[in-house]
Amino acid sequence: MEKEGPPPAYPDLSEEQIPAPPPYSDASGIMLIVKATDFAARKHRKQKRKDPQQTPYINHPVGVARILTSEGGITDPIVLAAAILHDTVEDTNTTIDEIEQEFGREIRNIIAEVTDDKSLPKEKRKALQVEQTPHKSRQAKLVKLADKLYNLRDIERSPPVWWDCRRVKEYFKWSRDVIAGCKGTNDALEAALDDIINRNL
Ligand SMILES: [Mn+2]
């Protein structure tokens, strides 16, 4: 006689329809975020921010991840690791293949989405951000929102010494145009961005 096992977890679903388990448990998610933080810290170790205090660059990606957790309510390790890594390909010698090797395809794709093509002139890159942002993934849009919020707060507090008033206003206007393409992604981050932009335009 066959032994009676526990009832099937998904009685109405065929094997193919059973949803995949979340890719990261709490422990592996924490490990991923720590690994990303260590990787980014080593890659950015010689870089400084453009503020007058010359803050270490790594403060920026870590702060972007912090905005996502404490203001955006985001706890997905994939998005948080991507936030921490978001400037490594654009601003260091890190290649997108290296990101894929170390962190997998999903994070690779998010980083690719938030990385500007530095072979293009700056004005073109800025125009492309406005044009392409609406078509990006939700994960990439979250990183973009938090990145812009961090940068605008930095500039409001202490703009690069060589920026005049006009340049600051231009940056706020351009940021407004980029994040317009992220509407409907995260209410709290969008509201915080609206506030700081309205205060500065
Ligand atoms: Mn950034």
Which residue blocks in 71-160 are alpha helix, DSSP H?
Answer: 77-85, 88-91, 96-103, 105-113, 122-132, 138-157
> Hey, how many other C-beta atoms are within 10 angstroms of the C-beta on 108?
20
| CA contacts within 13 A on the Cβ side of 164 | 1
What residue segments make up the domains of the chain, in order of their start?
Answer: 25-197
Predicted confidence (pLDDT) at residue 1 exceeds the cutoff of 80 = no
User: Rounded CA gap, 97 and 100, in Å?
Assistant: 5
Tell how far the Cα of 22 is from the centroid of ligand 1, in angstroms. 27
With cut-offs at 50, 70 and 90, classify the pLDDT of residue 4.
Answer: low
Tell how far the Cα of 92 is from the centroid of ligand 1, in angstroms. 12
The β-bridge partners of 56 are 48
Known catalytic residue at 131 = no
Tell me if the domain spanning 25-197 has CATH number 1.10.3210.10. Answer: yes
- Residue-wise pLDDT for 93-109, tens only, equals 999 999 999 999 999 99
- Residue-wise pLDDT for 18-57, tens only, equals 666 566 778 999 999 999 999 999 999 999 998 888 999 9
- Residue-wise pLDDT for 179-200, tens only, equals 999 999 999 999 999 999 999 9
The predicted structure's pLDDT at residue 26: 86
Known catalytic residue at 90 = yes
